Structure 1
Amino acid sequence: MTGKITFIQQNGAESEASSTSSDEEVLNIVRFVPRMRVIRERQNPFHLYNDEEFCERFRLNKNLVMDILQKIENNLKPLTRRSKSITPLNQLLITLRFFATGTFQIVVGDTFRVHKSTVCRIIKKVTHQLALLRPQYICFPKNENLVNVKTKFFNVAGFPSVIGCIDGTHIPIQSPGGDNAELFRNRKGYFSINVQVVCDADLKIIDIVSRWPGSTHDSTIFNASFIHAQLEAKELGSGYLLGDSAYPCRPYLMTPVANPATAAEHRYNSSHIKTRNIVERAIGVWKRRFPCLSLGLRTTINTTLSVIVATAILNNLAIIPDDHIDDVDDFGEAEDQAIEENPNALGNAIRYTIIDTYFN
């Protein structure tokens, strides 16, 4: 190759290749010119949206977001301010936007002008920090609070001494792969995590178990749970959980009568169903507030489990009286899970004592 070849360097200066340079040498010179890095300007949603628009997009109001930020901010601060590092507030908002939409991470990244790989790292980090708040916001009521819970449940349909309602719900996930992938395929044919939820009369989640694959039965999850051990040891005071026919009847867990024959048994079942419906409403509110739980999670299993717990915490913080979201029910989760009843003898006796005392 002969003659002069001129090309533009990254700094704008012209440079000439030797007249004896080969085509390959010139291409190598051009190939090693680094690409200019572009830092995109990021908008502040607090300034961009009013209160109503903000709540629609992030499912929490601005004041609540700031309260949550104060609890986890120190663990989200970047180590350096180089290259316009993402602030703790924007990290939290990116995660909330993912919870609120359940969409692909590249779409969330485009909204905040952040690369999808950065979004992935942020969601994992923030979700973990939120999940660590569980002991503060997901806990079983005690003492005077337990009395208030019983009173509120009794006011629903006259069922006595109810301390919580229990149910299982499936959170769709992508196939985790590996030899154990089929363990996550539930009875409906899709991959999921089977989550055990206990709620109070205000639709708040007071206990959650989020670690079992979708093929696991509700009764198996309950028997292996910590709350089961506490109830067996009588550490949660007197009272009953209400569960559907997927659970065995125990002294601390009341289930419906399988084949009611008397008017009292029918009244018992009616009161049981109306009261236990609260947990289905609670699950419906939770999934409606954070659609990522309904649409399916495509994160790793560990991150998925953290997302489930983190959204449960945020849901508890967001629940206010007369919240319109709670009109949504979690349809069809429990009715087709019925198993043949083989109740504990003492639990069966206690159930009929309740029927004779309160519903006869």
Structure 2
Amino acid sequence: MFLSMALGLYALCSVRLRGRGLRCQEQQRRVRHHSRRLIRSINYPWQRVYQQRMSFEMMSEELCVRQLRFNKEAIGRLCDILQGDLRPSSKCRTALSVAMKVTTALNFYACGSYQASVGHMCKITQSAARACIHQVTDAIFRKASNFIRFDMSPVELRGRAVRFHRIAGFPKVLGVIAGSHIQLKAPNDQPISYMNSRGFHSLNVMIVCDAQMRILAVNADHKGSADDAFVLENSSLAQFMNKCPQRSGWLLGSSSYPLKTWLMVPYSKTQSKAQQRYNCAHVCTWQRGQDTVKLLKSRFQCLNRSKGILQYSPVKVSKIVVVCCALHNFALDQGQTLQPMEDTVSETDQLDTPDLDTVDTQESLKKTPTAAARAIREQLVDDRFGL
């Protein structure tokens, strides 16, 4: 009945306005517009039925750990931390809750799926999933310093050095540096500069971790074409270590990094048994950094190249990397253990790590180490590895 009334109104107005010339066209357009709105309101259901959404609160404990990498208690604590940043600004009953937003973002980080797949799992649209991922990423990124800290207090340094010493007997280690390339889609601006030596577009990410595989620092701002030495030299870590007055040890890095007074790297060619023992202890201790990268990519499959390419700009991918590192530390704080997955072993691609016998041919190592750095390494070899 209402539909016939609307159509009759439209026909009546059209007849009255017909033949009055071009000045009546605007009035005819308005009549058509109001008629369409009237018909739409008549056919629209009085009470719209929405699909039941799924947040972590409705999942089983096992499903939470498998799909989100955290148990319900840990996710609840994360929601409390992000409550102020993610609280809905609208009072509409269809607005997404904090729990819904965190569930959607964690599912994306953990499974490495596309936004549409994440939205299907959480029973929301692809555009809503995209908004959730961006909001949660920005919120955690702003709080990343609360999770990622390079504590240089004397007590912390001693404890960190003791834990590293237990691995292979390498003394005074403050942390190990590991690198990995995170693949992303070719950006519109200077795509060639993001192409790494393996032929795919990426960011060269540098991570510093301790013996417990906790991430102390992360740098995800450099393009894939940059080598490891360049990334280190242009990082805040290098400036911090050069100026740090409390430094009483060193970091360990691979052969792709230059030798410094605060960074010990292996010998390219050993000339004594002491240097061989030094190299062996160095590699065994430095491996903890690679294990951390494996664990990070196993926990958050969005960083794993075998699961797909991040379809975002380099700036957004950099934020996602930092957020995943912050959540990795949060997981360790909450006792969320995880074993590295088998398909992640090939993903610890420190592309610029050369073979020790060919290290002198690398462009990043043409700079001769300072006499002070060589003296410190020789003194270390004589004191701790010479028999």
TM-score using structure 2 length: 0.82
Residue 325 of structure 1 is matched in structure 2 by: 339
Alignment CA distance shift 1:165-1:281 (3 Å): same
1:246 aligns with 2:259: no
Q: Deviations over 1:269-315 (max 9, x none)?
A: 10000000000000100011000011331123332221111110110
1:217 and 2:217 equivalent?
A: no
Distance in 2 of aligned mates of 1:271 and 1:135? 32
Within-5 A mapping of 1:231-310? 231-294=241-304, 295-310=308-323
Q: Is the 8 A contact 2:198 2:351 kept in 1?
A: no
Partner Cα distance (2:56, 2:118) in 1 = 17
Worse overlay, 318-327 or 150-159: 318-327
Q: Which residue of 2 aligns with 1:172?
A: 183
* Displacement of 1:113: 2.3
- The one-letter code sitting in structure 1 at the alignment partner of 2:179 is G
The offset of 1:357, in angstroms, is: 0.9
1:50 corresponds to which residue?
A: 60
Question: What residue is the counterpart of 1:3 in the other structure?
Answer: none
Q: Who is 2:172 aligned against?
A: 161
8 A Cα contact 1:39 1:84, kept in partner = no
Task: Supply the distance in 1 between the matched residues of 2:245 and 2:72 (Cα, whole angstroms).
Answer: 38
Q: Which moved more, 1:84-93 or 1:314-323?
A: 314-323
Hey, what's the Cα distance between the residues in 2 that align with 1:212 and 1:336?
A: 14
C-alpha distance in structure 1 between counterparts of 2:266 and 2:297, whole Å:
26
Question: What is residue 77 of structure 1 aligned with on the other side?
Answer: 87
In the alignment, structure 1 segments of 5+ residues that lack a partner are 1-5
CA distance in 2, matches of 1:112, 1:44: 5
Tell me the secondary structure at the aligned position of residue 245 of structure 1.
coil
Residue 137 of structure 1 aligns with which residue? Answer: 147
Q: Relative to 1, partners in 2 of residues 1:44 and 1:324: Cα closer, same or farther, differing over 3 Å?
A: closer
CA distance in 2, matches of 1:18, 1:43: 44
Which residue pairs with 1:127 in the alignment?
137
Residue-by-residue CA offset, 1:67-86 (whole Å, 9 max, x unaligned): 11111111111122215100
Aligned AA (1:172): Q
Aligned to 1:353: 379
1-structure distance, mates of 2:88, 2:166: 50
Aligned-pair CA distance for 1:156: 0.2
**Partner Cα separation in structure 1 for residue 243 and residue 217 of structure 2:** 17
Which letter does structure 2 place at the counterpart of 1:168? Answer: G
Distance 1:129 1:195, change over 3 A: same
Report the alpha carbon displacement of residue 237 of structure 1 after superposing the two structures with TM.
1.9
Contact kept? 1:42, 1:112, Cα under 8 Å? no
Give the conservation status (yes or no) of the 8 Å contact 1:250–1:344: yes
Q: How many equivalent pairs are there?
A: 349
The answer to whether residue 106 in structure 2 is matched with residue 107 in structure 1 is no
Secondary structure at the aligned position of 1:193 is classed as strand
Q: Once structures 1 and 2 are overlaid, which stretch shifts more, 47-56 or 317-326? A: 317-326
Cα shift readout 1:182-215 (whole Å, capped 9, x = no counterpart): 1111111111111110000000100001111111
User: Contact conserved, 2:203 with 2:221, CA < 8 A, in 1?
Assistant: yes
- Aligned in 2, Cα 1:60/1:159: closer, same or farther, shift over 3 Å? same
Which residue of the partner structure matches residue 202 of structure 1?
212
SS in 2 for 1:63: helix
User: Residue 222 of structure 1: CA displacement?
Assistant: 0.7
Question: What is the rounded CA distance, in whole Å, between the counterparts of 1:72 and 1:95 in structure 2?
Answer: 12
What percentage of aligned pairs have identical amino acids?
24
Structure 1 residues 236 and 67 mapped into 2: Cα distance closer, same or farther (>3 Å)?
farther
8 Å contact 1:283–1:329 — kept in the other structure? no
Equivalent residue for 1:86, pick from 88, 96, 102: 96
Whether the 8 Å CA contact 2:205–2:221 is kept in 1: the answer is yes
Could you say if the C-alpha distance between residues 192 and 224 of structure 1 is closer, same or farther in structure 2, counting changes exceeding 3 Å? Answer: same
CA apart distance, 1:343:
2.1
Of Structure 1 and Structure 2, the greater helix share is in: 2
* Pairs within 5 Å for 1:10-89: 15-16=7-8, 18=11, 33-34=39-40, 36=44, 40-89=50-99
Question: What SS does the corresponding residue of 1:241 show, helix, strand or coil?
Answer: strand
**Distance in 2 (alpha carbons) for counterparts of 1:323 and 1:274:** 22
Structure 2 counterpart of 1:166, which letter? I
The CA distance in 2 between the partners of 1:163 and 1:149, in whole Å, is: 6
CA distance in structure 2 between the partners assigned to 1:42 and 1:235 by the alignment: 57
Cα contact 2:140–2:323 (8 A) shared by 1: yes
Measure, in 2, the Cα distance between the counterparts of 1:56 and 1:77: 26
**Offset, 1:158:** 0.3
CA distance in 2, matches of 1:140, 1:18: 75
Structure 2 residue runs of 5 or longer lacking an equivalent are 16-27
